[in-house]
Amino acid sequence: MSTAETTPKPSQSTTPVRLVHAAVALLCAAGLTSSLYLGWTRGTDLPTGAGFAGGFSAGWDHMLNQLAYFTFVSGLLAAATSAVLAWRPQIRSAAFHALRLAAVVCVIITGGVFNLLLRGDDVLRGAQFFNDTVLHLIVPVLVPLVWVVIGPHGRIGGRAMLLSLLVPMAWLGATLARGPALDWYPYEILDVPRMGYAGVGVYLVWIIAAYVLIGLLLWGLDRLLSRRGTCDSSGV
């Protein structure tokens, strides 16, 4: 039997993987679109007891300011990296896989922090319910699950881990830098006027520590899954 007959064509073997990544990218895009819609139609809601008084009116200002929310950033990373994997499932770029690692870790943190620390008692309906369900409940579970099941694996290393850290650090730096100028912060746990930098710093340390811990766990799991995949393909 010839090699051409025993080896599946790339298009055949990767089609299901491409479809899964494409579906995840579309779901994330739908959640992000609902965020933009809410920014266009609703103004900023200040948390009860907030130490800041700034905000954004419905329209372009609030819609463009969606990038200030960690939920939006993590969803955008998940959508973009999933779209790239739908196009090139076997991409090997170290920079890309650093972003992919950041996407997986950030959506996990988004789900954990929002549901444990930030979720209120408000009953959500319509676009708000859809946005919350997709970006705070489904994506934080689906994206890591897809990574575990279909990978790609064997792409995480020390360099990718360090590069991925630039994402949350850049977001935190930009958030704290623009906060005093706007008199506005995206989350209660970043309310510098009320808690001071020392109080906010406690949350920041825990979030960065959680990021590093989750990243290290994914790194170890990646090595395990990669090794198992090699053994499975060799028939061991």
Is residue 173 scored above 80 in pLDDT? Answer: yes
Task: Give dist(CA 135, CA 84) in Å, integer.
Answer: 20
What pLDDT is stored for residue 124 in this prediction?
81
What pLDDT is stored for residue 90 in this prediction?
84
| Residue 171, domain member (yes or no) | yes
What pLDDT is stored for residue 113 in this prediction?
87
pTM of the model: 0.87
| Residue 65, domain member (yes or no) | yes
| Residue 4, domain member (yes or no) | no
Judged by average pLDDT, the poorest of 5-9, 122-126, 193-197, 217-221 is: 5-9
Q: Give the count of domains, the chain.
A: 1
Is residue 99 scored above 60 in pLDDT? Answer: yes
| Residue 209, domain member (yes or no) | yes
Q: Band the pLDDT of 2: cuts 50, 70, 90.
A: very low
Q: Band the pLDDT of 151: cuts 50, 70, 90.
A: confident
Is residue 234 scored above 60 in pLDDT? Answer: no
Q: What is the pLDDT of residues 199-217, one digit of tens each?
A: 999 999 998 999 999 999 9
| Higher pLDDT, residue 100 or 6 | 100
| Residue 123, domain member (yes or no) | yes
Q: What is the pLDDT of residues 37-90, one digit of tens each?
A: 999 999 998 888 889 998 899 999 999 999 999 999 999 999 999 999 999 888
Q: DSSP states of the chain as a string?
A: --HHHHSPPHHHHHHHHHHHHHHHHHHHHHHHHHHHHHHHH--PPPPTT-S------TTHHHHHGGGGSHHHHHHHHHHHHHHHHHH-TT---HHHHHHHHHHHHHHHHHHHHIIIII--SPPP-HHHHHHHIIIIIIHHHHHHHHHHHH---S---HHHHHHHTHHHHHHHHHHHHHHHHHT--SSGGG-HHHHHHHHHHHHHHHHHHHHHHHHHHHHHHHHHHHHHHHHHHHT-
Q: Band the pLDDT of 229: cuts 50, 70, 90.
A: low
| Residue 3, domain member (yes or no) | no
Task: Give dist(CA 4, CA 12) in Å, integer.
Answer: 13
| Residue 218, domain member (yes or no) | yes
| Residue 235, domain member (yes or no) | no
Instruction: Please give the residue range of the domain that contains residue 89.
Output: 10-227
What pLDDT is stored for residue 30 in this prediction?
97
Is residue 183 scored above 50 in pLDDT? Answer: yes
Q: DSSP states of 150-177 as a string?
A: H---S---HHHHHHHTHHHHHHHHHHHH
